[in-house]
Structure 1
Amino acid sequence: MPDLPSRSRPSSVLVLAVAGAVTVANIYFPQPLLAAIARGLAVSDRTAGLVATAAQLGYALGILLLVPLADTARLRRLTRVLLAVTSAALLVAATAPNVLVLAVATLALSTTTVLPQILTPVAAALAGPERRGRVVGVIGLGLTLGSTLSRTVSGAVSDATGSWRTAYAVAAVTTAGLLWVLPRALPERLGGPDTRPVPYGRMLAGLPGLLVAHRALRVSALRGAGVFAAYSVFWAALVFHLAAPPLGYGPGAAGLFGLLTVPAALASAYAGPLTDRYGADRVQPVALACVGLALAVAGLAPVSPVALVAAAGLVVLGTSACQVANQARVLGLGRAVAARVNTVFMLATFAGGALGSLTAAGLYGAYGWRAALLAAAGFLVVAVTPTGRERRPRLAGRAAGARLGVPVRAPRRETRCRSPHPSTSPPSPTST
C-alpha cells in the first residue's frame, strides 16, 4: 500500500469517521450516567461529576503523550495497542467497586482512546489542501455523532438493564471490534518516506516551539479551549439539571437530548466546505454566535424541554463548526508536523473541556443552572478574540524550531505582481 496516496478514497474516509465516532464515544457516554453512578456507588452528584472530569483530563494527557507518536510511528501497530488497552480499561470500569476505581479506570481508558486525534491528521493528509476542510468536516461529523449519540445509547442501555455498568461493557465490546477493521484502513506511516525520525523526548520538547512559530496555532488553541469549556459546562450541568426538580428526568431522557441534536451535528459538517471556500476566520464568528445564542435560550427558559433541546442543538452546531474550522487551519501547517500541531490544538481544547466539566460540577451543586450558564458564557468570551492577520514566524522562532525538531516554513518574498496562471492547489488562507 502506498505511504499516502495523493487523494483520499471515500471508503477510507468513511472508515476513519466511523472509527472516530466509536472511540470518541468512550469519553462522552458516561455523562448521562452520572446521576445513576452517584446513586449506585452512594456518592454525591459532585463526586460523581469527577468521573467526567477524569475523562477529559485523561484525554488531554493521551493527546500530549501519545498523539505526537503518529508523526513517526507505525500507525497500524500503534492503533492495535491503543484499542486493546482501551477495551481492557473499559472492562475494569464496568466492574468498579467504588468511585475511586471508576475514576482511575476512566482516566486510563480516556488516555488511550485518543485515536480520533490520530485519524484526523491522517484524513487531512490523504485529502490534500484543496479538500482538507471537507474531509476534516466528515471526520468531525463522525466525532460529533459519536459524542452525541453515545449519550443516547448509554442512557437507553442503563434504563433497559437497570445498571450503568452495562453501558461500559457494551463500549468495551464495540471498541475491541475495531481491532479487526481500523488498522487495515490506515497507511503504514503518516509522514512521507523522506521524513526524518525525531526522538520522542525531543518531539515533546518541540511542542512549545510550534506555538512560537505559528500564530494560527495559538489562535486556534485559545478558541478551541474557550468554546469547548463552554460546551462541557453546558452538557455536564444539563445532566443534573434534567434530573433535578421540576424536570425530574432519568438517564434515558438525558441521553435522548443527544439524539435530538443529530440534525445540528449533520449541519455542522458544512463547516468544512465553507472553511475551504471562505477561510476559518469567516466561519468561526458564526459558530461562536450559535453557542452564545444557545446559552441565552437555556437561561431564559430553564424548565422548557423545547428550549433546552434547541439550546443543546445550537451548542453542538456551534462547537462542532468551530472545531472543524480550527482543525482545518492548523492541519494546513504541514504534513510533517500534522500530528504534533493537532496535539497542541487538541491539548488546549480538552484542557478547556476538563476545566469546564469541573466548573459545572462545582457551580451547579452550589448555585444552580443559571450560574453554570454564566460560567459557560465567560469561557465563550475567551474564545471570542480578535485574530488580526497571520504573520510568518520570526527567524529566532525558526531557529528554535529547528533545534527541537519542529519544521517551520521559510518566509516567502512578498511581490506586488501575481501570476496570471492561478495554482491548482492554492495554499490555505490561514497557513503561515
Structure 2
Amino acid sequence: MSSIHQSHDQNAALQAGMNTAKATAIHQQPSAPLVLLLATGAGLSVASLYYSQPMLGILAKDIGVSNLQIGYVPTLTQLGYALGILLLAPLGDRHDRRNIILIKAGLLVVALLAMASSHSLGILLMASLAIGLTATMAQDIVPAAATLAHESRRGKVVGTVMTGLLMGILMSRVVSGFVAEQFGWRSMFVLAALGIALIAVAIWHGLPHFVPTTTMSYRALLASLLDLVRRHGKLRRAALAQGLLAMGFSGFWSTLAVMLHAEPFHMGSAAAGAFGLAGAVGALAAPLAGHLADKRGPELVTKLGAGLTAVSFAIMNLSPWFPPTAQLWLLGIGTVGFDLGVQSTLIAHQTIVYGIDNGARSRLNAVLFVGMFIGMAAGATLGSALLAQWGWIGVTSMATVTALAALAVRFWKLPAGQA
C-alpha cells in the first residue's frame, strides 16, 4: 500500500515539476510586441538588400550604364551581406547584441542615404556594398530572439521572426517597384532609411541588453568558424545546398525587372515588384515547413523543398512556347513554387544547423548564411551574364540546374559518424 502512495507521490511531484517548467517557459517568453518588433526589424533590415532589384531597368537608364553593368549592384549587395555575416555576425557571441544591432542600424541609414544620392555607377556600387554589410543586423536579431525565448518554445519565436525576415525579402520588391514608378527610385532609399531609423529607436527602447557568451578574441572567433566547417559534415552540406538554391533564386530576381522591361512585355518596375506578391504566398506558407520538420524531420523537408524549386524553375523553361499572357501565368505559378521551396529548405537547414552545437549557434548560423549569400552573389552575376547572352531561357535553365544540384547534395549520404 505504501508503494502505491509512494508512486502516487512521485507522479504528483513529476506533474508539479512539469507544471513549474511550463510556467517558467511561459514566463521566459518575450512579449508579443517584442517578437513583433524583432520580426519587423529583421524584415526591414534584410529588405534593404532587395529594393534595387525591381528598378534595375530604371537605374541603368538614369545612371547611363548597360544592363550588364547595373547587374553588379545586386551582386555587391549580396557579397557585402555575405562578408558582413562572415566578419561581423560572430561578434554577437562576444559583445552585447543590442549594441551591435543599434550600431549597424545607424550605419545602414547612412548607406541607404548614400544610395539615394548616388549619381555615378562607382558611388552606387560602394553604397550597395555598404548596405549589404550593415543589413546583417537581421542576422543579429534572429539569434537575439532565440536567446530571449525559452527552449521549449524557441522554434515558435524564431519561426515568427524568420517569417518577418522572409516577408521583408519578398514584399520589398512590391514596395520598391511601386514607389520607384510613382515617386522615383531615390525616394525608395530615403523611405527605407527612415524606416530603419524608426525601428532603431523602437529597439533602443524595447530590446533588453544581452550578456556575451564567450570571451574569445576576434581572431579566435573567426578561426572557430573554420573549425566548425571542418568538424561538421551536416553544416557543410546545408551551406552548400542552400547556396546552390540561392544561385537560382538570386539569378531570377536580379534579372526579372530587366526581362519584363524588354520585349514582348514592356512593363515597368511596379509590374516586376508585383511578382513579390506571388513570392509572399510562398513565404507565408513556409512556416508550415517548420511544423513538418518537427513531425517528419528536417531532412525530408530539405529534399521536398529542393525538388519543388527544381520543378518550379523547369516550368518556366516552357515560356518560349507560350504567348505573352500565358508566359506571365507561368512566371507567377513558378514564383510561388520556387519561393516556397527555397524558404522551406532554409527553415529546415536552420533546424539542422542549430541542433549541431547550442553553444555556437551564432557562428553556425553565420556559416550557413555565408554559403547562402555567396550563392546569391554568384547567381546575380551569372544571371545577368546569361540574360545578356542567351535571354531569359538561360536564366531559368541555370536556376533549374542549380536546384537539381542542391537536391543531389541533400540525397548524398554522409560518412558514418559525421555530425
Instruction: Tell me if TM exceeds 0.5.
Output: yes
Which of 284, 289, 303 in structure 2 is aligned with 1:266? 284
Summarize the alignment of residues 14-413 of structure 1 with structure 2, pairs less than 5 Å apart: 14-161=36-183, 163-189=184-210, 195-302=213-320, 303=324, 304-384=327-407, 385=409, 386-388=411-413
Does the Cα contact within 8 Å between 1:149 and 1:259 map onto a contact in 2?
yes
Q: Give the partner amino acid of 1:297.
A: I
Secondary structure (helix, strand or coil) at the match of 1:198 reads: coil
Equivalent in the alignment of 1:413: none
1:75-110 CA distance string (max 9 Å, x none): 111111100001001101101111110110110121
Larger deviation: 36-45 or 237-246?
237-246
Does the Cα contact within 8 Å between 2:145 and 2:158 map onto a contact in 1?
yes
Structure 1 distance, partners of 2:125, 2:35, is 33
CA shift for structure 1 position 332: 2.0
Secondary structure (helix, strand or coil) at the match of 2:342 reads: helix
Matched residue pairs, number? 388
- Unaligned residue ranges in structure 2 (runs of 5+): 1-26
Q: Percent identity?
A: 32
Structure 2 distance, partners of 1:95, 1:391, is 55
Equivalent in the alignment of 1:396: none
Larger deviation: 267-276 or 52-61?
267-276
CA shift for structure 1 position 251: 0.4
CA RMSD of aligned residues (A): 2.0
Does the Cα contact within 8 Å between 1:131 and 1:276 map onto a contact in 2?
no
Secondary structure (helix, strand or coil) at the match of 1:333 reads: coil
Secondary structure (helix, strand or coil) at the match of 2:71 reads: helix
Bigger helix fraction: 2
Secondary structure (helix, strand or coil) at the match of 2:413 reads: coil
CA shift for structure 1 position 139: 2.2
Does the Cα contact within 8 Å between 2:59 and 2:70 map onto a contact in 1?
yes
TM-score by length of 2: 0.88
CA shift for structure 1 position 187: 4.1
- Work out whether 1:11 is the aligned partner of 2:33: yes
Structure 2 distance, partners of 1:45, 1:57, is 19
Structure 2 distance, partners of 1:256, 1:75, is 35
Structure 1 distance, partners of 2:225, 2:130, is 23
CA shift for structure 1 position 241: 1.5
- Unaligned residue ranges in structure 1 (runs of 5+): 394-431
Does the Cα contact within 8 Å between 1:152 and 1:257 map onto a contact in 2?
yes
